[in-house]
Chain A
Amino acid sequence: MKNVVNEVTIKLLGKSCNESFARSALSFFIMQLDPNIDELNDIKTAVSEAVTNSIVHGYRNTLGIITMNIKITDDNCVHIIIRDKGCGIENISKAREPMFTTGDSDRSGMGFTIMESFMDKLSVSSKPGKGTVVKMVKKITAKKES
């Protein structure tokens, strides 16, 4: 990782009404990189997927803290870490397959697939009973001076 130029960490209670707060806080913070609308939406979507997963799966029927850490590095990259101390994932590679879900009919099993395709890098680590950490990176293209 190149030098960190800015960083923020936010702790959220895992309530679904905080999902839009997480997206807005993220948008606000990464504005300093002047992303285009597609880049911004891609990152917002990926973060929404990860935070929703912590709420819906990690803390299913319980309420816990979700930590969102965002770093900006001098190579114009956004590094995001979403962490929960929920139930964890038994089989990560299975969980990352498209259409795989342990959720109800409101879930489609596409969250990880979307995070992977909308971001440049995705890594997932998890321990059953301990929690889950999702790390993502996306490079923001530099705008030409006009």
Chain B
Amino acid sequence: MKIKSEIRGSILKICLTGELGHHEAIEAISQIKDELSDGKYLQAVLDLTGLSFMDSSGIAVVMKAYKTAQNADIKLAVKVENGHKKRILLAAGLNKIIDFI
């Protein structure tokens, strides 16, 4: 798993690539927290489309990103294509609190 971020105006895009399971989750959470507290953004996008694999560990990663963003007054959206990753996040009901794009 690797994390890269891009800034476009006031929007921060955090892109995850590789595989996200239990082994990678703690590192992912800490890097995402760093990215989100690294400046002043109004919006952030957590881009999961580059992940070739994700399991239920991704639920906590997205939830923690959401809470960190909320505390920093950043509006967070999650970018994910149809498939297993989206079904996992929907099963946990995350679409009720976070915008999926």
B84 contacts A42, C-beta separation under 8 Å: yes
Answer yes or no: A38 CB below 8 A from chain B CBs. Answer: yes
A interface, size bucket: 20 to 34
Residue of B whose beta carbon sits closest to that of A117: B91
Interface string of A54-76 (1 = CB under 8 A from B): 01100000000000000000000
CA distance A110 to B63 in the complex (A): 13
Task: Name the B residues within 8 Å of A49 (CB-CB).
Answer: 55-56
Residue of B whose beta carbon sits closest to that of A40: B84
Interface of B is mostly: helix
B84 contacts A38, C-beta separation under 8 Å: yes
Q: In the complex where A106-B26, A114-B91, A117-B91 touch, is A20 in contact with B57 (Cβ < 8 A)? A: no
Q: In the complex where A23-B53, A42-B84, A108-B56 touch, is A113 in contact with B19 (Cβ < 8 A)? A: no
Task: Name the A residues within 8 Å of B92 (CB-CB).
Answer: 108, 110
Answer yes or no: A83 CB below 8 A from chain B CBs. Answer: no
Interface of A is mostly: helix
CA distance A143 to B58 in the complex (A): 31
Which of A41, A55, A107 is in CB contact (< 8 Å) with B83? A41
A-contacting residues, B5-59, CB 8 Å: 19, 21-23, 25-26, 29, 53-57, 59
CA distance A113 to B59 in the complex (A): 13
B-contacting residues, A92-114, CB 8 Å: 98, 105-108, 110-111, 113-114
Residue of B whose beta carbon sits closest to that of A111: B56
Task: Name the A residues within 8 Å of B60 (CB-CB).
Answer: 105-108
B63 contacts A108, C-beta separation under 8 Å: yes
Which of B25, B29, B88 is in CB contact (< 8 Å) with A110? B88
Task: Name the A residues within 8 Å of B22 (CB-CB).
Answer: 16, 19, 48, 52, 55-56, 106
Task: Name the B residues within 8 Å of A110 (CB-CB).
Answer: 56, 59, 88, 91-92
Answer yes or no: A17 CB below 8 A from chain B CBs. Answer: yes
A19 contacts B23, C-beta separation under 8 Å: yes
**Minimum distance in angstroms from B23 CB to a CB of chain A:** 4
The 5 closest A-B pairs by CB, nearest first: A16-B23, A41-B84, A48-B55, A108-B59, A52-B22
